Structure 1
Amino acid sequence: MSIKHGLLALLEREPMYGYQLRSEFDATTGSTWPLNVGQVYTTLARLERDGLVTPGEEDAEGRVRYSITDAGREELAGWFGTPVVNSDRPRDELAIKLALAVTVPGIDVAAVIQQQRASTIVAMQDLTRLKATGEGDLSWSLVLESMRFQYDAEIRWLDHCETSLARAVRERDAATTDTTTGTTTKKAGARR
């Protein structure tokens, strides 16, 4: 999700100050994507430059309340009407890490997988405990459930990686090279 569209969505509800936007963003997303106030004001400046928001007059405390413009509403409607595709998402660091781990000599890939699985299970349990508290509104609940499903999928993918690794090790061990003839032979009983 882009911060730009998140702020536009919040401003569609009502005009807000920068600090209000940050608080509402955190409340709506369950603080799953920490947003600092500097990001808010930098994004607001870009949105204003692009004609998507307009600042109001400063109040007595020097705060400016921002409002969404018609162009901002069009941008927001376009965002809501466009599916998120994989190319819009950040790189999957875990997939890259495991892909590299299998190519680097001396790395215990099984240990890397186990360590990640343990960490993911703990994170999933934390989310389950949060859900059990029953706090939050529908938007918070949807974000929480999305994260739980992602963790569940990650655990299943790690299981798949572990199975694939074990199969590759078995196949590698089953094939031996005869150093005198340079031919590859299968050990008795080895399956490929």
Structure 2
Amino acid sequence: MTVKFTILGFLYRKNLHGYDIITEFNELSHHQWPLNPGQVYSTLERLERDGLVTSLGENEKGRIHYQITQAGREALFDWISSPVKRPLLRDELYMKFLLAESKGLEGIEELLQSQKELILQQILLLTDFKKTIDHKHFKKIIYGGLLHLEADLKWLEYIKDE
């Protein structure tokens, strides 16, 4: 996740200050992604320096409101409309497997079993979490996470059977 474009996305429809951005982010992500407040404020400063947002001055509480600029809108559009390249083979689990198998390291059976248990636990957690969420868009995110976990389980079964 890129904080820069997340902030631009929040500023797309309305002017906000840093605290509002943090609050809206936490609500949107259902508190599932930690967002460092210091990173938000430093990113807002860089966005202003780069001409992607404009400061509208301080309110009565001393909070600076920001507005997205046309350049910011264009950058946001370019980011949102571009595909996300995912690492295909670069994964810590894959490296552990490769090392253990190719170098004859001990512990591969324990790794595969504990990884399977962890995935099953994560599936249960996400399934339970999905039941508590009314937000239809976030349910789609949870479903995507469940599909990734199921794919990992299938891979572990493949490894075990080979």
TM-score by length of 2: 0.89
Whether 1:157 aligns to 2:152 is: no
Aligned residues: 161
Q: CA deviation at 1:104?
A: 4.4
The two structures, once aligned, show a CA RMSD in angstroms of 1.8
What's the % identity of the aligned pairs?
Answer: 36
Structure 2: segments with no counterpart, 5+ residues: none
Q: CA deviation at 1:36?
A: 1.5
- Residues 63 and 71 (structure 1 numbering): CA distance in 2 closer, same or farther, change over 3 Å? same
Q: Distance in 1 between matches of 2:8 and 2:150?
A: 31
Q: Distance in 2 between matches of 1:14 and 1:92?
A: 38
- Residues 95 and 31 (structure 1 numbering): CA distance in 2 closer, same or farther, change over 3 Å? farther
The answer to whether the Cα contact below 8 Å between 1:54 and 1:67 also exists between their aligned partners in 2 is: yes
- Residues 46 and 95 (structure 1 numbering): CA distance in 2 closer, same or farther, change over 3 Å? farther
Tell me which structure has the larger Cα radius of gyration: 1
SS of match in other structure, 1:54: strand
Q: CA deviation at 1:50?
A: 1.3
The answer to whether the Cα contact below 8 Å between 1:30 and 1:143 also exists between their aligned partners in 2 is: no
Residue 111 (structure 2) aligns with: 112
Residue 95 (structure 1) aligns with: 94
Residue 190 (structure 1) aligns with: none
The 5 Å alignment of 1:13-32 reads 13-32=13-32
Whether 1:45 aligns to 2:65 is: no
Q: CA deviation at 1:64?
A: 0.8
- Residues 61 and 79 (structure 1 numbering): CA distance in 2 closer, same or farther, change over 3 Å? same
The answer to whether the Cα contact below 8 Å between 1:27 and 1:140 also exists between their aligned partners in 2 is: no
SS of match in other structure, 2:12: helix
TM-score by length of 1: 0.76
- Residues 73 and 149 (structure 1 numbering): CA distance in 2 closer, same or farther, change over 3 Å? same
The 5 Å alignment of 1:67-146 reads 67-87=67-87, 91-133=90-132, 135-146=133-144
SS of match in other structure, 1:41: helix
The 5 Å alignment of 1:181-192 reads none
